Amino acid sequence: MNGSWSGFDPRGLSIVINAMAKLECHSGDAFLQSWVSAAQGQLSTFSPQDLSISLHGLGKLGHHPGEPFLSSWVSAARPNLSTFKAQDLSNSLNAMAKLSFMPPSEFMEALLVEARHKISTFNAQHLSNTINALGKLEYHPKDEGFAAAWVAAA
């Protein structure tokens, strides 16, 4: 592929980066940067699943997309957090930890409020990924009830 992503919609872009991560296909920085540029222009139209698996794919590949992309990702995710499923929330947090990316505190708190509301839908992997990501990021939720909810769900 020559880096032309014009035929790729948000679903196609997210599938590509996630599949590359699953296959451990490290195709080089130029290819990944071209993907980042194409995706960044469409992030506002990504579904919650597309947002989470794209960030997860980048994290799994160990490719830090840069602050402009991450800022755009947060801006796209923030108004849609209520529609994120448990897997989307835990994958996003896990990817942030892999990328050593600490989003603004307001975003983290909003994400964790959403996680707490949906904690009964978290399976063991979602729970472990979430708490592991918070530990790696050394992030202490302001909501003191989050830890109690997590323990009750575990």
pLDDT digits (tens, 9 = 90+) for 115-138: 999 999 999 999 999 999 999 999
Q: Tell me the CA end-to-end span of the chain in Å, nearest whole number.
A: 44
pLDDT digits (tens, 9 = 90+) for 79-88: 999 999 999 9
How far apart, in Å, are the Cα atoms of 137 and each of 4, 44, 104? 34, 25, 12
What the block records as the tokens of 132 is: 């592991």
H-helix segments, 26-78: 29-40, 48-61, 67-77
pTM: 0.91
Of the candidates 142, 62, 72, 122, the one whose C-alpha atom is nearest the C-alpha of residue 95 is 62
d(CA 45, CA 101): 22
